[in-house]
Structure 1
Amino acid sequence: MNIDWAALGTVFGVSLVATIALVGLFTLGIVGLAKQESATASGGSAAMARTGAYACFALCAAAVAYGIFLIVA
């Protein structure tokens, strides 16, 4: 049995970066929704925070859908 350590390292690196990016995007979405609530409470406009949060959630959903596509295909 022969293990291709370079390929294993590449898979590990790409998985780590993708995981950090996906968690970061989701976190930005949660923060955007929190900012929306605080902006509404202080009387400001919350449209930009809500739009950014929804964009982050849409990117998360697109990344998950692409991952499922890669697994199925």
Structure 2
Amino acid sequence: MDKMEFRVLMKYCFLKGKNTVEAKIWLDAEFPDTAPAKSTIKDWYAKFRRGEMGTKDGERSGRPKEFVTDENIKKSTK
């Protein structure tokens, strides 16, 4: 399961009124090998409590993806 799907499941737990411990127990029982860490669940619950209900990654500063192409890498190494 990918990160986005786990975030949706964490949001489901949050909306159902489960706390982080209950969510971790449930996710560990259903997905023992791939469940997110306790700290990840806490971080996402904090976002949900602040009203940030989206499950996608936020914008990040830094180099845009368009920069990393074979053509641009060749240009930058010359």
Same fold (TM over 0.5): no
Q: Between Structure 1 and Structure 2, which shows a larger proportion of helix residues?
A: 1
TM-score, with structure 2 as normaliser:
0.29
TM-score, with structure 1 as normaliser:
0.30
